[in-house]
Amino acid sequence: MANGKLSLACFRLALLNFYPLVAHFPSYMALALSKATDFTQPGVTESRDWLIQNIKIEERHLNWYRDWAVGFGLTVDELDRVTPPVEMNAVNHFLWNMNYRSSLAECLAATNLAIEWATGDWSIQVYKGINAYIDHPEVNINKRSLAWLRAHAHYDDLHPYEAMELIKRLCDHQPELQTKAFKAAREGLEYYELALDYCYKQHA
């Protein structure tokens, strides 16, 4: 994507099958928010307020992502009906499980640190190279279709750093919880990598 050499078929495959991750992202954070109840503990109140604000920001992202996908030739109906292949859906199952069963610190590590950080990094690169597709007859690049990319390549890239600071507060003086949070972040990245690798290999 970043260098404009990815085939349109592979680009569409990625946009289609990562749609559930984008669509369900605020739901994952809502599960984490439900754990932010003990305000006597360090970092809990701040995490609650931050998650509420972050979920609010996500309100716009679904339509922005749809505009991007439609600009690359997909339909909203295709997006809403997609069932990703196992390799690309595993990250969603991981995030549902993590945010339902684990501690608040682990939820933030898996979701907002790992996934948002990686997404911000690749969004920056894709945004730089997106104009390579501007003359493709089946692609429509405009302000609307670039909104999701532009957001994640710019202001949204602060979220992982903010999440890291919250995790540090939540885990302060708790080595065992620190280890669990680190494991959650690492596994989140591994599941994300699994999805990306599968997608790329389909049209390599």
The residue whose two tokens read 């969603």 is: 92
Evaluate whether 43 touches 166 at the Cβ level (below 8 Å): yes
This model's pTM is above 0.75: yes
Quick one: average pLDDT of 106-116? 97
Give the C-alpha separation, 100 to 97, whole Å. 5
Q: At what angle do helices 159-170 and 44-71 cross, to 10 degrees?
A: 150
pLDDT band (50, 70, 90) for residue 161: very high
Confidence at residue 5, expressed as pLDDT on a 0 to 100 scale: 73
Q: Mean pLDDT, to the nearest integer, of 114-142?
A: 90
35-55 per-position pLDDT tens digit: 999 999 999 999 999 999 999
Domain ranges of the chain: 8-202
Centroid of chain to Cα 44:
22
Question: Which CATH number is correct for 8-202, 1.10.1740.10, 3.40.50.10190, 1.20.910.10, 3.90.650.10?
Answer: 1.20.910.10
Percent of the chain with pLDDT strictly greater than 70? 96
Contact 44, 104 (CB under 8 A): yes
Residue 1: C-alpha distances to residues 10, 89, 122, 140, 181 (Å)? 9, 21, 9, 15, 31
